[in-house]
Amino acid sequence: MARKIIIDTDPGQDDAVAILLALTSPEVEVLGITAVAGNVPLELTAKNARIVCELAGRPDVKVFAGCDRPLRHALVTAEHVHGKTGLDGPRLADPVMPLQPEHAVDFIIDTLRAEPTGTVTLCPLGPLTNIATAFEKAPDIVGKVQEIVLMGGAYFQVGNITPAAEFNIYVDPEAADIVFKSGRPITVMPLDVTHKALTTAPRVQAFRDLGSKAGTMVAEWTDFFERFDKEKYGSAGAPLHDPCVIAYLIRPDLFQGHHVNVEIETQSDLTRGMTVADWWGVTDRAKNAMFMGDLDADGFFALLVERIGRL
């Protein structure tokens, strides 16, 4: 049976590839897509999510707009990585499919209340504002969540937006703190693993060689955001962060990690948003997250190409 998921996202080219992977994979059933402010402001992430659904030939997918700013701090965006639209690269037409009238937070609450306990997995690909707001507004739903599989944080790779913090957690550390303290099973795709999901030239060419609109889009998106990361890291390509979350649901065997304690720094100006992971088990703090550290990158890209190739 397909695993029911809600994708909470701030597209973002890598979010877009994650959504395409989900919509082409029978192992998951996308109950809805909830947009949050992150890489770019909410108006654009809500629009981009619909552009991607239409590209996947799925204008029937319900897309909701959620929180337009983090719980306590001003929004920090990442146009320097993703471009002004969030999906810079190929020329994209505005979506025709509508945005749902309901607020994303209410959709998350209503869905978790309506579905049997332990059957809905949350897949956050951006700042955790929508998820934390839903948990605060309706504490009764927390125990109903099957699992939270999220992209965020880092341990060995430390930070990408500050020396200490990864972008998604840095933008809304208070929200992340609520989620990591929720008591639900959490699987984390930190930079430690996503920095191994590198879009090298042959891997991007494999998308282009699909010869389809979707294959070309993915290649052009990765070409665009690569330029920033290649310069920053001196690497052969850019990390395709967010698709790791969906790939894990389909092929968990591609990933390896440790079940550890993860706490979020919310106080320090210097290290705000740091994910303090007890990777070596040096404290007796309760283990609250499966923190991934490695992936089979060739297997991951083979899966992506095969699934995008279905479009």
Q: How far is the CB of 41 from ligand BDR (least distance, A)?
A: 14
d(CA 113, CA 244) in angstroms, rounded, equals: 27
From the list 209, 226, 220, 217, the residue with the least C-alpha distance to 306 is: 209
Specify the residue, 12 or 66, whose C-beta has the smaller distance to Ca ion.
12
Q: How far is the CB of 287 from Ca ion (least distance, A)?
A: 26
Residue 29 phi, psi (nearest 5):
-115, 115
Specify the residue, 147 or 242, whose C-beta has the smaller distance to Ca ion.
242
Choose one: 88-96, 119-127, 196-204, 262-270; the region binding Ca ion (CB under 5 A).
119-127
Out of 6, 12, 88, 214, name the contact with Ca ion by CB under 5 A. 12
Out of 61, 125, 217, 249, name the contact with Ca ion by CB under 5 A. 125
Residue 292 β-bridge partners? 257
User: Can you give the binding site for ligand BDR, defined by CB under 6 A?
Assistant: 12, 14-15, 39, 78, 81, 125-126, 151, 160, 166-168, 241-242
What does 86 bind: Ca ion, ligand BDR, none (CB cut-off 5 to 8 Å by kind)?
none
From the list 57, 101, 75, the residue with the least C-alpha distance to 10 is: 75
Question: Which bin fits 89, alpha (ψ -120 to 50), beta or left (φ > 0)?
Answer: left
Out of 6, 13, 15, 247, name the contact with Ca ion by CB under 5 A. 15
Annotated catalytic residue 241: yes
Exposure string over 173-182, b if 16+ CB within 10 A, otherwise e:
bbbbbbbbeb
Choose one: 4-12, 134-142, 173-181, 218-226; the region binding Ca ion (CB under 5 A).
4-12
What does 78 bind: ligand BDR, Ca ion, none (CB cut-off 5 to 8 Å by kind)?
ligand BDR
8 A C-beta contact, residue 7 and residue 125: yes
Catalytic residue among 80, 82, 241, 259, which?
A: 241
Specify the residue, 70 or 126, whose C-beta has the smaller distance to ligand BDR.
126
Q: How far is the CB of 241 from ligand BDR (least distance, A)?
A: 4
Out of 70, 95, 126, 152, name the contact with Ca ion by CB under 5 A. 126
Residue 84 CB neighbours (<10 A): 9
Tell how far CA 248 is from the center of its chain: 12
d(CA 247, CA 253) in angstroms, rounded, equals: 10
Specify the residue, 242 or 263, whose C-beta has the smaller distance to Ca ion.
242
Q: What is the DSSP string of 30-77?
A: EEEEEE-SSSS-HHHHHHHHHHHHHHTT-TTS-EEE--SS-SSS----
Specify the residue, 210 or 238, whose C-beta has the smaller distance to Ca ion.
238
The contact set with Ca ion (CB under 5 A) reads 10, 12, 15, 125-126, 242
| Catalytic residue annotation | 241
